[in-house]
Amino acid sequence: MLNNIGLPGLLLIAVVVLVLFGKGKVSALMGEVGKGITAFKKGVGDGNAEIEQAKADGAKDVTPAATTDKEKV
């Protein structure tokens, strides 16, 4: 059903929404949607950075835990 909407149908829906809610409400709603998308992208980026940091921390220490007396001299 949604495949048959087309451009005229989308324009009609946009006009009806604009008439029902008004320009101010639609503008505020789109602003909130934009903020939500920005917060989502930031969260995904932070999650990826946290995973990369955990990988880097696990790969840092490659020295053996105990050293022998010969290596200390």
Predicted pLDDT of residue 45: 93
Close Cβ partners of 13 (under 8 Å, ≥ 6 residues apart): 5
The CA–CA distances, whole Å, from 9 to 6, 12, 27, 44 equal 5, 5, 21, 34
Task: Quote the domain boundaries for residue 32.
Answer: 22-54
Please indicate, yes or no, if residue 27 is contained in any of the structural domains. Answer: yes
Residue 69 in this model has a pLDDT that exceeds 60: no
Predicted pLDDT of residue 23: 83
Predicted pLDDT of residue 22: 87
Query: Which pair of structure tokens corresponds to residue 1?
Result: 């059903």
For 3-55, the pLDDT digits (tens) are 778 888 989 998 998 898 888 888 888 899 999 999 999 999 999 999 988 88
Please indicate, yes or no, if residue 41 is contained in any of the structural domains. Answer: yes
Instruction: Indicate the number of domains in the chain.
Output: 1
Please indicate, yes or no, if residue 16 is contained in any of the structural domains. Answer: no
Please indicate, yes or no, if residue 69 is contained in any of the structural domains. Answer: no
